[in-house]
Amino acid sequence: MTSELLIKNGRVIDPANGIDKKCDVLIIDGKIAEVGGKTEDRGQKPAPSAAQGTEDRRTVIDATGRLVTPGLIDIHVHFREPGDEEEETIASGSAAAVAAGFTSVVCMPNTNPTIENETDVEYIHRKARLARKTHVYVMGAVTKRREGIELAEMGFMAEAGAVGFTDDGSGVQDPAVMLRALKYAAMFGVVVAQHCQDNGFAGDGVMNSGYYSTILGLPGIDPLAEEAMLWRDIQLVKKMPSGRVRYHAQHISTAGSIELIRTAKKESLPITCEVTPHHLLLTEDCVAEYDTNYKVNPPLRRAKDVEALKQAIADGLIDALVSDHAPHLQSEKELEFLAAPFGIASLECAFALFVKALIEPGVLAWPGLIELMTARPAKIIGVDKGTLGVGKQADVTIVDPDAEYEIDVNKFRSKSRNCPYHGWKVKGKVEKTIVQGEIRFEA
Ligand SMILES: [Zn+2]
Ligand SMILES: [Zn+2]
């Protein structure tokens, strides 16, 4: 039995192949079979095979007025399993992901226990297969228990399919440990991702340091905490023999970081970086009412940092857009500002938020946005995804770019509601998410 899925008349945007045109996409048995204008003619429904008594399945989707893109990829999410299943599980996070158009996500290892060996990686993969929604990849920890001292089982994790290493939640403080991690990961050709934050500078800070932290009486995190570690890591990358080393700066948030990235890229260093929606849409003054939904790490910065990030995106310096989806229990977020955990649950509205931050003000055109949510993040984690190339696994997202809606956290598939965007009016709605040729979400 053959199964066919024909997506007709959409605006197909496939940046990896330089495609942006109105045409059809034909999927046969879970793979992209054809992208072009004549798929309908050739697709005459074959006669059912009488011999086996089975019938070929053919589904047609009319995508007129819609964007048809490679399945979106988010290389930075927290699904909280194992350990904090009341906040999110692989199953609930996966359901949220496909509802948000993401056909691949990468889970961070700061779970409880930490993802630090091959069994842990396999555990996540197994849970994801059972959930049968989105592809779930894993980054393993750089160091055991994320303590920054002893390297985790990076080799075994790489063999088990880990697509990167990070101690996300904190940065690797000791430069000698970080250098060893870069050397070791390079042997496997796996990227090392860093939550750039020097603990000495960051201290007990809970928001950006400056005017607002002073008047609110809250300890601040200086932008230097991020920039110092990023600068240090760039020096470490320079020390590495060129070849397989790859370094990725997670959720960069300051104008100073942008300048460091700009210089590093001019020198053609193997460095990539990512940006979150909150660092593009929110600023430090949001914290003024002590609403812990705005407590995030790295913290919300100044308007001039937001402008620098947008300029960097327009200049092509940013490699990926990520949600850094960080679900938390309401009871925890209701603690006072100092005690509440960091993080925003934003996976389910991430696409529309990036539309608001980047398409609406004209920072990017559609192909540019789609590239930063498909082909380029796929390259960072080294997976054969993010394209509609013929023969590739058919992960496809269909979006109505003009549909307006209001973000309602009560409709989230995610288990958590710590989201400051509740009630926001946004544009750009995911209508269908197709994973391996199967419609896994339909609005
Ligand atoms: Zn982080
Ligand atoms: Zn994170």
pLDDT higher than threshold 80 for residue 19? yes
Confidence (pLDDT) at 46: 47
110 alpha carbon, closest ligand:
2
Tens digit of each residue's pLDDT (9 = 90 or more) over 69-90: 999 999 999 999 999 999 999 9
pLDDT higher than threshold 80 for residue 94? yes
Widest Cα–Cα separation across the chain: 79
**Which 8-state DSSP code applies to residue 423?**
T
Q: Are 300 and 52 in contact (CB under 8 A)?
A: no
What is the distance in angstroms between the CA of the first residue and the CA of the last residue of the chain?
28
Annotated catalytic sites, by residue? Answer: 324
Tell me the CA–centroid distance for residue 360 and ligand 2, in Å. 26
Tens digit of each residue's pLDDT (9 = 90 or more) over 255-314: 999 999 999 999 999 999 999 999 999 999 999 999 999 999 999 999 999 999 999 999
Give Cβ neighbours of residue 431 (< 8 Å, ≥ 6 apart).
66, 398, 399, 400, 403, 442, 443
Exposed/middle/buried for residue 383 (C-beta within 10 Å: 0-12, 13-18, 19+): middle
343 alpha carbon, closest ligand:
2
Question: How far is 104 from 136, CA to CA, in rounded Å?
Answer: 6
Can you state the percent helix, strand and coil of the chain, rounding each to 5?
35, 25, 40
Tell me the CA–centroid distance for residue 231 and ligand 2, in Å. 20
Confidence (pLDDT) at 307: 98
Cβ atoms within 10 Å, residue 192: 26
